[in-house]
Amino acid sequence: MNAPGVVQAVMDSVGGYQPRLFAQKILTASDVNRHQNRLLIRQRDVINLILPQLTQAEKDNLLAGLELKLYTSPGWDFTIFLSCRGTNGLVLRGSQWTMLLNNANLQLNDQVQVWSFRNAPDNELCLVIAKN
């Protein structure tokens, strides 16, 4: 699967490489709820897409929350945390989630993909959210 144009544009703007699909879903009411500030990630995506991409150090930080940059377009990044949600998978969460939704014009029932890439020179994991 090829990365959408916005993913490549973000990577080009920050020196990113190695794009990979991280998760995909249709946004639910809880995902766009201003009071919840988070995106639930399906268990299937966690097992098949996310865990194989993480380093051991990143996996070890999931309980506390792994701090990441999530981009909506070149020049627009938001600080979020990837963390465990009990035994039900992972969640992207943070106080900037509502701002991110507004910036990307994401709404209930939008189909989205989250892509990961590594940022040079420190191999930092970064994410891009793109509406299908």
pLDDT in tens, 54-80: 999 999 998 889 999 999 988 899 999
Assess if CATH 3.90.228.20 describes domain 5-131.
no
Question: Residue range 20-48: average pLDDT?
Answer: 91
Other residues' Cβ atoms within 10 Å of the Cβ of residue 3: 19
pLDDT band at 23 (very low <50, low <70, confident <90, very high): very high
Spatial distance between the Cα atoms of 15 and 42, rounded to a whole number of angstroms: 29
Predicted confidence (pLDDT) at residue 49 exceeds the cutoff of 70: yes
Q: Is 20 exposed, middle or buried (0-12, 13-18, 19+ CB in 10 A)?
A: middle
